[in-house]
């Protein structure tokens, strides 16, 4: 009988390619269908984001309305082209989430071996924090997208003896666009400082072609000039980009505590758009192993980046508690380091025993199942049935579109947001009481409208504030 050589089998030779194809297809399907099975409705932040994006105009941009500009342009295009709905509001995050996941996979593939990068990529794209970012219609995803893009482009420049000018231009353009996202100015400064302080990166920068470096510098400087003009015309812009609108220095440490509370707390009493705990115990344990494994070669650029990003996360969380979600990036890099450490230690025990190597798949499968499956189920069911989380979202928009066709709608709150409905539906939105034949009032008014009788109340399945719309008809004379 002919002896079977495992290394020549088709599935073994192309195992990583097949794994990445399956992962890519599953990831794309999951992200595209994301709004259909989680986050039932819209949060207040998503409503505000959609409103600000839709009313973004040329005059506003020229006058200095540049905060989160790339994301807001995408969201405005989505709502204008496809109408106002929960999906179109989240569509920019879904698209950016696809690129974000791809960049994470490419970045890990450059930093680690294929077995580690594939396993870590599976964990990343199925984790609760990642799915939340990709399914949230706010610019929060840009906070992790830009650093990931810059890190990948930086690795492409660093890893080549003669870096292509295209990567230098792309790095400069990404850095230029990123400074319009809050706190990314700090990250741009961090990138420059880190490149100058890290010996290997400093050598790479010195060896880069002069022309691309000059063009890169001009592009970045021009971006800061535009930003300076914007700040001159709109002084509040600098507060939004560097801190937050209502930031006070005395709140710095309280913001850190508030931001990280849902990450590791096991209590369901925390009212936040983040599930609690957002970071599971197996994930945290694996990240700690990864942190321990990087201490030996800490000054290598790949090893020290996760620790420095963690410090960066602490700083920006002090300015805005929602920025704690940035922790996903250094955490996932540390998880990859932890996986690398575990695999190396196991293979080091049995360097020549193929059966022992294969047997490692069993505990590894159990470990990953304990990390991925509960995280995915927590995301799907937590955002629907956890009362403290579910009440942060509402499906008022879908209820209005399903129940109102030719009636007038009075939005006592978020009038500018619901006014967008007139562009793609027959619903008419008014800002104050008018005498019409049919009147739909969103929320209960302090005084009952005159000349009307209550016809019907439309409710939602939510626990709090379930009475969404009051339908009134004109009172007939003599009643």
Q: Give 183-194 as a DSSP string.
A: THHHHHHHHHHH
Q: For residue 283, what are its two tokens?
A: 């994930």
Q: What is the pLDDT of residue 303?
A: 64
- Residue that is written with structure tokens 């939602």 in the block: 460
pLDDT at 397 over 70: yes
Interacting residues of 195 by C-beta distance below 8 A, sequence separation 6+: 201, 202, 204, 205
- What's the confidence (pLDDT) of residue 27? 78
Distant-in-sequence, close-in-space partners of 53: CB < 8 Å, separation ≥ 6: 71, 72, 73, 75, 76, 79
Beta strands in 33-174 (DSSP E): 42-43
The confidence band for 1, taking pLDDT boundaries of 50, 70 and 90, is very low
* DSSP assignment letter at 177: H
Instruction: State whether residue 394 is helix, strand or coil.
Output: strand
Q: If you average pLDDT over residues 42-52, what whole number do you get? A: 89
Instruction: Give the total residue count for the chain.
Output: 479
Q: Are 85 and 75 in contact (CB under 8 A)?
A: no
Q: What percent of the chain has pLDDT over 70?
A: 79
Question: Residue 415: exposed, middle, or buried by beta-carbon count in 10 A (0-12, 13-18, 19+)?
Answer: middle
| Residue 461 binned pLDDT confidence (cut-offs 50, 70, 90) | confident
pLDDT for 231: 73
Q: How large is the greatest C-alpha to C-alpha distance in the chain, in angstroms?
A: 101
Q: Are 112 and 336 in contact (CB under 8 A)?
A: yes
Residue 142 pLDDT level (bands cut at 50, 70, 90):
very high
Residue 78: pLDDT band by 50, 70, 90 thresholds?
very high
Which range in 237-246, 270-279, 363-372, 414-423 is most confidently predicted, on average pLDDT? 414-423
Q: pLDDT at position 75, please?
A: 93
Q: Is the CB of residue 134 less than 8 Å from the CB of residue 34?
A: yes
CA of 127: how far to CAs of 165, 195, 284, 289, 292, in Å? 35, 31, 13, 19, 22
**What distances in angstroms separate CA 472 from CA 142, 440, 443, 458, 466, one per listed residue?**
43, 6, 12, 11, 18
The more confidently predicted of residues 269 and 432 is 432
| Highest mean pLDDT of the ranges 117-121, 242-246, 429-433 | 117-121
pLDDT of residue 162: 65
pLDDT higher at 461 or 131 = 131
Across 308-387, the runs of DSSP E, i.e. the strands, are none
pTM for the predicted model, two decimal places:
0.85
What is the percentage of the chain residues whose pLDDT exceeds 90? 6
Phi, psi of 455 (to 5 degrees): -100, -45
Gap between the Cα atoms of 375 and 97, Å rounded: 18
- pLDDT tens digits, 80-127: 998 888 889 999 999 998 888 888 888 888 888 877 887 888 888 888
């Amino acid at each position: 009988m002919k002896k079977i050589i495992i290394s020549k089998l088709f599935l073994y030779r192309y195992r990583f390619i097949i794994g990445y194809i399956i992962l890519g297809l599953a990831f794309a399907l999951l992200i595209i269908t994301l709004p259909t099975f989680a986050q039932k409705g819209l949060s207040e932040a998503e409503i505000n984001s959609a409103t600000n994006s839709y009313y973004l105009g040329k005059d506003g941009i020229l006058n200095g309305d540049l905060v989160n500009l790339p994301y807001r342009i995408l969201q405005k295009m989505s709502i204008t082209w496809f109408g106002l709905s929960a999906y179109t509001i989240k569509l920019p995050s879904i698209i950016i989430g696809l690129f974000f996941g791809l960049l994470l996979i490419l970045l890990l593939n450059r930093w680690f071996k294929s077995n580690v990068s594939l396993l870590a990529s599976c964990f990343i794209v199925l984790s609760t924090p990642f799915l939340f970012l990709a399914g949230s219609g706010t610019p929060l995803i840009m906070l992790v997208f830009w650093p990931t893009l810059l890190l990948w482009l930086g690795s492409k420049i660093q890893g080549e003896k003669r870096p292509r000018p295209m990567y230098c231009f792309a790095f400069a353009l990404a850095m230029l666009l990123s400074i319009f996202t809050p706190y990314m100015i700090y990250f741009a400064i961090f990138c420059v400082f880190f490149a100058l302080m890290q010996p290997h990166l400093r050598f790479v920068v010195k060896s880069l072609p002069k022309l691309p470096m000059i063009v890169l510098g001009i592009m970045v400087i021009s971006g800061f000039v535009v930003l300076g003009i914007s700040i001159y015309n709109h002084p509040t812009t600098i507060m939004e980009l560097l801190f937050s609108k209502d930031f006070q220095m005395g709140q710095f440490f309280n913001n850190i505590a508030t931001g990280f509370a849902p990450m590791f707390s096991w209590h369901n009493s925390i009212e936040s758009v983040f599930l609690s705990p957002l970071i599971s115990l197996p994930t945290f344990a694996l990240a700690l192993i990864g942190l321990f494994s990087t201490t030996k070669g800490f000054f290598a650029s790949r090893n020290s980046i996760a620790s420095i990003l963690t410090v960066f996360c602490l700083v920006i969380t002090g300015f805005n508690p929602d920025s704690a979600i940035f922790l996903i990036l250094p955490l996932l890099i540390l998880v990859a380091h932890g996986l690398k450490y575990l695999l190396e230690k196991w293979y080091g025990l049995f360097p020549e025993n193929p059966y022992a190597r294969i047997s490692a798949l069993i505990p590894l499968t159990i470990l990953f199942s304990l990390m991925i499956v509960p995280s995915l189920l927590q995301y799907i069911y937590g955002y629907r049935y956890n009362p403290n989380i579910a009440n942060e979202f509402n499906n008022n928009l879908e209820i209005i579109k399903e129940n109102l066709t030719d009636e007038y709608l009075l939005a006592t709150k978020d009038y500018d947001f619901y006014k967008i409905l007139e562009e793609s539906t027959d619903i008419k939105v008014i800002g104050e009481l008018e005498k019409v034949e049919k009147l739909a009032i969103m929320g209960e008014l302090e005084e009952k409208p005159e000349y009307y009788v209550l016809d019907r109340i439309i409710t939602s399945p939510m626990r709090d504030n379930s009475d969404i719309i009051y339908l009134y008809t004109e009172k007939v004379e003599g009643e």
